[in-house]
């Protein structure tokens, strides 16, 4: 089975990280979790076995006590990219979506993204407040990501049409669309992360398509 690199960002939906990790493992995948600092506010990292959990501080071991990089040291985000067959980011918050689209690489996960080959599979599962999801920047960022991965969407598409276009025309990129329901903040609307079985099904479809 495939090696899954699960990126987790600072959305409330990160509370589901331990369950998503277990779901993927029980499906037979090898899973490593790359968690941003913001995501750790929403789940206990002790719920993920430490060898399978990568934190930002793991990128630069010993830095807090003055250690410096040595020539024989591995570059962690490159090692993770080499290990993984597919990159799944669930949840993908608005801040990290903007970073991916603009090429920022200021943590381990975004460094993996910046080093990821465009011809290798990616699944993104956005999760954010409805108004954040509907913000014009969201469409711009998703268009840029699709373009960077080799398929430029038509500019006239609305957000729903854009997701359909990406999922139909981008062979290596799939978006697990957020759902319409009551959000953690109390608002009701689109923005909740897709159900875990939906995310797993989207991921499997990408792997099956080669």
The residues carrying an active-site annotation are: 185
CA 156 to chain centroid, in Å, comes to 26
Closest CA to 85 of 1, 26, 197, 200: 1
172 Cβ contact partners less than 8 Å away, ≥ 6 residues apart? 118, 119, 120, 121, 122, 149, 150, 206
Distance separating alpha carbons of residues 132 and 136, to the nearest angstrom: 9
* Cβ pair 189, 16 in contact under 8 A: no
Do 142 and 163 meet the contact criterion of CB atoms below 8 Å apart? yes
Burial category of 1 from C-beta neighbours within 10 Å (exposed 0-12, middle 13-18, buried 19 and up):
exposed
Taking the alpha carbons at both ends of the chain, their separation in whole angstroms is 13
Rounded Cα distance, 83 and 76, in Å: 10
- Tell me the CA distances in angstroms from 160 to 166, 175, 176, one per residue in order: 10, 11, 12
């Amino acid at each position: 089975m495939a090696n899954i690199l699960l990126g987790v960002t600072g959305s409330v939906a990160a509370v589901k990280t331990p369950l998503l990790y277990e779901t993927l493992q029980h499906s037979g995948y090898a899973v490593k979790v790359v968690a941003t600092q913001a995501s750790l506010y929403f789940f206990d990292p002790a719920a993920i076995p430490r060898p399978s959990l990568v934190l930002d501080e793991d990128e630069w071991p010993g830095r807090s006590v003055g250690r410096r990089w040595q020539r024989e040291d591995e570059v962690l985000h490159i090692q993770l990219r080499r290990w993984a067959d597919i990159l799944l980011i669930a949840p993908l918050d608005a801040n990290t979506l903007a970073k991916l689209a603009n090429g920022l690489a200021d943590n381990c996960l975004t460094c993996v993204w910046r080093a990821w080959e465009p011809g290798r599979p990616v699944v993104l599962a956005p999760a954010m407040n409805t108004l954040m999801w509907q913000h014009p920047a969201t469409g711009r960022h998703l268009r840029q990501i699709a373009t960077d991965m080799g398929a430029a969407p038509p500019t006239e598409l609305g957000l729903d049409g854009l997701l359909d276009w990406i999922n139909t025309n981008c062979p290596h990129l799939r978006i697990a669309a957020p759902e319409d329901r009551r959000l953690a903040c109390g608002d009701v609307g689109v923005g909740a992360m897709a159900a875990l079985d939906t995310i797993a099904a989207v991921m499997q479809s990408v792997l099956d398509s080669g």
